[in-house]
């Protein structure tokens, strides 16, 4: 379940391989001796996910605006 949850969150398997040994239960990750190098990869992945979320949010909002415009007749053409 932990692996599935991490995959569903968008983490690549190379990151999961690093994080998995540190999991004692879902949502609790323990690094007793984390170095900046160990944290750099997950930090980059978090930033990448944030960028993806922003892109998805913009796309969703644009689609919602389009649907609202079409439903409200803004997309209809005037009769000739």
Query: How do residues 5-59 score in pLDDT, each as one tens digit?
Result: 888 877 788 888 877 777 766 555 656 677 787 778 778 888 988 998 999 999 9
- What is the helix (H) or strand (E) element at residue 61, kind and residue range? helix 36-71
Distance CA 21, CA 73 (A): 56
Distance CA 72, CA 12 (A): 42
CA distances from 46 to 7, 10, 15, 37 (A): 13, 9, 11, 15
Instruction: Return the higher-pLDDT residue of 50 and 1.
Output: 50
């Amino acid at each position: 379940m932990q692996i599935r949850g991490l995959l569903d969150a968008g983490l690549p398997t190379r990151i999961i391989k690093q994080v998995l040994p540190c999991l004692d239960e879902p949502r609790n990750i323990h690094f007793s001796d984390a170095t900046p190098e160990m944290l750099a990869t997950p930090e980059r992945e978090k930033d990448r996910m944030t960028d993806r979320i922003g892109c998805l949010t913009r796309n969703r909002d644009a689609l919602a605006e389009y649907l609202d415009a079409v439903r409200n007749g803004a997309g209809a053409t005037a009769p000739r």
